[in-house]
Amino acid sequence: MTMKLMKADDMAATTDNIIDETDENLVRIGEMAKKYGVTLRTLRFYEDKGLLNPQREGSTRLYTHREETRLKLILLGRKVGFSLRDVKQMMDLYEPNGSNTKQLRVALDKSEKQLARLNKQRQAIDEAIGELTDAMAVVRSKLAEQRPMPVAAND
């Protein structure tokens, strides 16, 4: 299943609108997992780590719009290479009635460092692709130079 994530500017606008409200559109864990292409185990793991806090009706987990937004942030963070610790740190800095300046500064700092890591990885991958392409060209050339060996006849 393909997971569609929000762009960063859409995510920032959505994050600004998170409030603790009773959401009439509660989503069960199975629906949430299917919608975002994750396993039930993943959602429970995120809950155990304090990243998600679904409502409970008995043993049933129910996710509000707020929790859904948090899951989108977790998935976006993981997609770009942040650790769950980093994602949690950034989300925990969110204050519904505050300016969230500290959260934004931390997010920007972590993002700049991650972008530098990703660019280094891309450079290493580009070099590896170049070396592999060159090696394959040498192998193809050697194969083209070889003449087929005659098959021994059964006398």
The pTM for the full model equals 0.72
Whether 80 and 47 have beta carbons less than 8 Å apart is answered as: no
Long-range Cβ contacts of 75-78 (<8 Å, 24+ apart): 75/3, 75/5, 75/36, 75/38, 76/5, 76/6, 76/8, 76/11
Rg (CA), the chain: 25
Reading the chain (155 residues) residue by residue, the pLDDT tens digits are: 444 445 555 555 444 444 444 546 899 999 999 999 999 999 999 999 999 999 999 999 999 999 999 999 999 999 999 999 999 999 999 888 889 999 999 999 999 999 999 999 999 999 999 999 999 999 999 998 887 766 776 65
Q: What is the spatial distance between Cα 57 and Cα 104, in angstroms, rounded to a whole number? A: 34
| pLDDT for position 6 | 52
